[in-house]
Amino acid sequence: MIQLEKRPQPSRFWSLFTPVIAVIVTMIAGGLLFAALGKNPIEAIRTIFYDPLFGEFSFYYRPQLLVKGGPLILIAIGLSLGFRAGIWNIGAEGQYILGAICGAAVGLAFYPTESVFIFPLMILAGLLGGMLWSMIPALLKVKFGTNEILVSLMLVYVAEQLLASMSLGLLRNPDGHGFPGSRNFQDYPSGHNTEILAGTGLHWGVAAAFIAVTFAYILLNKHILGFNIRLTGEAPRAARFGGVNPTRLTILCMGISGALAGLAGLFEVSGPSGQISIDFNVGYGFTAIIVAFLGRLHPIGILLAGLLMALTYIGGEIAQANLGLPAAAIQVFQGMLLFFLLALDLLSNFRIRLAVKGAA
Amino acid sequence: MNTPLLSIQGLTKAYPGVVANDDVSFDIAEGEVHALLGENGAGKSTLVKMIYGLVKPDSGTMTWQGNAFAPAEPRAARGSGVAMVFQHFSLFDALNVAENVALGMENPPPMRDLAKRIKDVSENYGLPLDPDRTVGDLSAGERQRVEIIRCLLQDPKLLIMDEPTSVLTPQEVEILFQTLRKLKSEGTSILYISHKLEEIRTLCDHATILRLGKNVGECVPAQTSARDMAEMMVGDTLQTPTRTAQDGGEVVLQVDDLSAASGNPFGTSLKNISFSVSAGEILGLGGVAGNGQDELLAALSGELLTAATAVTIRGDAVGNLGPNQRRGIGTLAAPEERLGHAAAPNMSLVENALLTGAIRQDLTKKGFVNWKGATEFADQIISEFDVRTPGSDRAARALSGGNLQKFVIGREVLQDPEVLIVNQPTWGVDAAAAAAIRQSLMDLAAKGAAIVVISQDLDELMEISDRFGALNEGRLSELRPTSGLTIDEIGLMMGGSHGMHVAGEETVEQEASA
């Protein structure tokens, strides 16, 4: 009989290595899945994990890693602060959309004026847009005790409708011959999120992600606010006793995560995506939840997890194109990663003991 | 001599890292009240769990009326006639008494018959109980009666009671003892687990004393002094805390007509509480658990905000200030629940030192944490309060209850509070550690702090406090000087007997102390 025994002290070894093991187990289970679909599993795994980095066309894929990883990391960092405190903002996708709409609207309002102040203004607007959207579930929670999971999630669908309306109506490109979608920021230098170093994929949003990682690390490890966030997640009553104001903390965590998601949306719409369109968002806000947990809610972990997730995205696309793997199989593969990670997470707090039945 | 009802020979049970029971042997005769005495962690619970079939011994044998006895599960033990009343009740608040009793039976009779049987048994043994009442509305004493009646319906030959009096007022204890004596006269054996020596001396025929898992002695309690038993239990001469009573200090903490709704739906609201504590004084507040203790601590620590003027400290109204603002003016607190309230279980002792020490120990600068300072503070608590742990980087949950309690109390005492409020400072702590904690509170008072000790251990309150009051349903009784208080007076202050009465005797009147 297998028994789980609680460790007196969480194991450092296992908390560091479970993500590695989870990736390996995902490769094995994913390989089986691909084999069942009639594909060569080794080739599929190689296509997903190896080709984007070192394959023939890696010069093209490597910058993509930053382009895709940047928003994931930026959003996940914000989410992780709330998750650490037991505040579950599931609606980052909506905040991402609102950040993009607000930021883009500010930029487009100035079109075609050229000024160095326009892009910073757009950043500010994106940040505020995401933050205000996250304030809806936050205030409803602290005032009326609603569940922030449900409210923030449902607001994603409201945001999607708003996005559709914007790209068909208010923000539609007047010179676009009736096609839905806004002007393209690539044609508007003052509002364009350019690459800081050409050809590397390193745009301003990626830089913002790295800054967010640094700040989150300092906040959680050196600052009393980060301590209070961790304390609230570990033991809410002890946090109250320790003088933490739960209302203020909820608003703060929701606000930060909304602001970072909004930023990610702005950087995306003004950079890689280029324009507001009905479907410019590709689910970064949801994937970031996986990234946050894959990175164990730790800033450095999230940095690595964001890059890994971006890798499976890019590799998954290559596998779809080259091997004809269905998109659903790639999504299952990404889901497996989270599944195994959460399952193996058990090992950091418990040890498995094989016991003869009846002896215990 | 007749065959004993239950004979235990050489029972041993080891857990990883600790031998809970080491070669324990004793006999329980028919119709005997046998005490099992020992400190927390002495192995009493493991031993009775083996008798009750919850834990399987590593070695050793038990015989039941001369036959080999090795219950594989509690059902087998119950089948042989063993019944047990646990320290923590396993009752469902939303169900009524009869339903709760039925849930604990193998083959419950139809509800109507069961209700009648509950009535019969309860009247027979002087434990009146209405089978139709919802358990959520019962007092702790009444809930215990539900558990006892559930056992009695099985017609047990051996009734095991684990620390039964910890939730009872003195009057309720007396009624329980009457019931147990009646059971004994009918031939039922009782295994009575406790560390309260006076109880054992009045009730038990025979006592087995455990220390660190070993049987270290047996005695006839009525012929042995409490002190001798205590020393057998602790294995050392007991250090009794000493203090010289103080008076005449200026009033530091003043509570004036404090009323507050509990934050918890099952909590007790505080109603019109007024008292004051002077510098150098220890006020002891007793009362049965769940009568507003947690809420009072929360209102004094700042977790529960009230009208500003309801709590004043040196004349300043602080009722609307949060915990950290109160720490700033020297008001500290140590809640009852160690894990999850006083300390965060998964966080290190350093982080837990920071939890309440940040303000007074000046452990943050512009919001940035001085981890070196926090580590030093944690290490200071560990060394000055003799906290047994490999280091301050350990998680709080890795400490034993007593050690964590020393840490929690030490953390507040070392911050030199002017006002300290503690709830259950020695709950679940071994005698030596409890004595150390009490001594530290008294030393703190001697330095001029005003201290409120909330506790359910009356002996403790009698020992250390200058004045005594009791909480009952969120109200505070009149405060009386501790010296000269009798146990009867205390019982009345605690709210009388919660309507209990002894079979065939007059009802003990429930009255508030006027």
Q: If pLDDT is split at 50, 70 and 90, which confidence band does B512 have? A: very low
The answer, for A358 touching chain B at a CB cutoff of 8 Å, is yes
Asked whether the bond before A19 is cis by omega within 30 degrees of 0, the reply is no
Contact A238 B368 (CB under 8 A): no
Q: Give the separation between CA B268 and CA B284, rounded to whole angstroms.
A: 19
| Cross-strand bridge partners of residue B82 | B158
pLDDT at residue A359 above 70? Answer: no
Contact A230 B341 (CB under 8 A): no
The answer, for A215 touching chain B at a CB cutoff of 8 Å, is no
- Tell me what the mean pLDDT of segment A201-207 comes to: 92
Predicted local distance difference test score (pLDDT) of residue A350 = 83
The answer, for A227 touching chain B at a CB cutoff of 8 Å, is yes
pLDDT at residue A57 above 60? Answer: yes
pLDDT at residue B141 above 60? Answer: yes
pLDDT at residue B510 above 60? Answer: no
Predicted local distance difference test score (pLDDT) of residue B504 = 37
For B122-222, list the strands marked E by DSSP: 158-162, 189-194, 206-211, 214-219
Closest approach of chain A CAs to the CA of B133, in angstroms? 32
Q: Which two tokens stand for residue B9?
A: 């020979």
Closest approach of chain A CAs to the CA of B266, in angstroms? 16
| Cross-strand bridge partners of residue B253 | B277, B313
- Residue of chain B whose Cα is closest to the Cα of A246: B303
Secondary structure of B362-375 as H, E, C letters: CCEECCEECHHHHH
For a pLDDT cut of 90, what percent of chain A falls above it?
Answer: 62
- Tell me what the mean pLDDT of segment A262-266 comes to: 97
The answer, for B340 touching chain A at a CB cutoff of 8 Å, is yes
Contact B322 A10 (CB under 8 A): no
For a pLDDT cut of 70, what percent of chain B falls above it?
Answer: 91
Q: List the one residue out of A309, A258, A252, A282 whose CA is nearest residue A77.
A: A258
Rounded to the nearest 5 percent, the helix, strand and coil shares of chain B are 35, 25, 40
Write the residue in A224, A234, A241 that is nearest to B301 by C-beta.
A241
Which of the pair, B390 or A213, is modelled with greater confidence? A213
- Tell me what the mean pLDDT of segment B126-155 comes to: 84
pLDDT at residue B499 above 50? Answer: no
pLDDT at residue B445 above 70? Answer: yes
pLDDT at residue B501 above 60? Answer: no
Do residues B31 and B156 touch, judged by C-beta distance below 8 A? no
Closest approach of chain A CAs to the CA of B337, in angstroms? 10
Closest approach of chain B CAs to the CA of A218, in angstroms? 9
- Tell me what the mean pLDDT of segment B183-212 comes to: 87
Q: Is residue A288 packed enough to be buried (19+ CB in 10 Å), middle (13-18) or exposed (0-12)?
A: buried
Q: Which of A135-149, A209-223, A317-331, A333-347 has the lowest mean pLDDT?
A: A333-347
The answer, for B433 touching chain A at a CB cutoff of 8 Å, is no
Predicted local distance difference test score (pLDDT) of residue A141 = 95
For a pLDDT cut of 70, what percent of chain A falls above it?
Answer: 98
Q: List the one residue out of B81, B85, B44 whose CA is nearest residue B64.
A: B81
Predicted local distance difference test score (pLDDT) of residue B169 = 75
The answer, for A234 touching chain B at a CB cutoff of 8 Å, is yes
ipTM: 0.84
Chain A residues near residue B322 by CB distance under 8 angstroms: 243, 245
Question: In this predicted model, what pLDDT tens digit does every residue of B244-286 receive, in sequence order?
Answer: 555 567 899 999 999 998 877 667 889 999 999 999 999 999 8
Q: If pLDDT is split at 50, 70 and 90, which confidence band does B506 have? A: very low
Contact A237 B340 (CB under 8 A): yes
Closest approach of chain A CAs to the CA of B164, in angstroms? 28
Most confident of A127-141, A282-296, B147-161, B240-254: A127-141
Closest approach of chain A CAs to the CA of B346, in angstroms? 7
What CATH fold (topology level) applies to the domain B6-234? Rossmann fold (3.40.50)
Question: In this predicted model, what pLDDT tens digit does every residue of B36-83 receive, in sequence order?
Answer: 888 766 788 888 889 998 888 889 999 998 888 888 888 888 888 999
Q: List the one residue out of A115, A145, A148 whose CA is nearest residue A258.
A: A148
pLDDT at residue B200 above 80? Answer: yes
Place of tokens 């004045």: B467
- Tell me what the mean pLDDT of segment B91-111 comes to: 85
pLDDT at residue B146 above 50? Answer: yes
Predicted local distance difference test score (pLDDT) of residue B249 = 79
Predicted local distance difference test score (pLDDT) of residue B248 = 64
Question: In this predicted model, what pLDDT tens digit does every residue of B327-370 receive, in sequence order?
Answer: 999 999 999 888 889 999 999 999 999 999 999 999 999 999 99
Contact A224 B369 (CB under 8 A): yes
- Best residue in B369, B375, B388 for a mutation probing chain A (most A CBs within 10 Å): B369
pLDDT at residue A7 above 50? Answer: yes
Q: Which two tokens stand for residue A232?
A: 């609230």
Contacts (Cβ under 8 Å, ≥6 apart) of A89: A78, A79, A82, A95, A134, A137, A148, A152, A253, A254, A257, A258
Contact A223 B324 (CB under 8 A): no
The answer, for B354 touching chain A at a CB cutoff of 8 Å, is yes
Which of the pair, B329 or B104, is modelled with greater confidence? B329
Predicted local distance difference test score (pLDDT) of residue B450 = 95
Predicted local distance difference test score (pLDDT) of residue B324 = 94
Closest approach of chain B CAs to the CA of A95, in angstroms? 29
The answer, for A230 touching chain B at a CB cutoff of 8 Å, is yes
Contact A235 B322 (CB under 8 A): no
The answer, for B324 touching chain A at a CB cutoff of 8 Å, is yes
**Which DSSP symbol is given to B167?**
G
- Residue of chain A whose Cα is closest to the Cα of B390: A9
DSSP labels for A237-306? HHHHHTT--HHHHHHHHHHHHHHHHHHHHHHHHHTTS-S--TT---SHHHHHHHHHHHTTT-HHHHHHHH
pLDDT at residue B101 above 60? Answer: yes
Q: If pLDDT is split at 50, 70 and 90, which confidence band does B382 have? A: very high
Q: If pLDDT is split at 50, 70 and 90, which confidence band does A356 have? A: low
Do residues B440 and B405 touch, judged by C-beta distance below 8 A? no
Q: What is the mean pLDDT of chain A?
A: 90
Residues of chain B with CATH 3.40.50.300: 6-234, 251-339+417-493
Q: Which of A54-58, B94-98, B170-174 has the lowest mean pLDDT?
A: B170-174
CATH of the structural domain B251-339+417-493, one choice from 3.40.50.720, 3.40.190.10, 2.60.40.10, 3.40.50.300: 3.40.50.300
Chain A residues near residue B262 by CB distance under 8 angstroms: none
Question: In this predicted model, what pLDDT tens digit does every residue of A279-332 receive, in sequence order?
Answer: 887 889 999 998 998 888 999 999 999 999 899 889 998 999 888 889 899 889
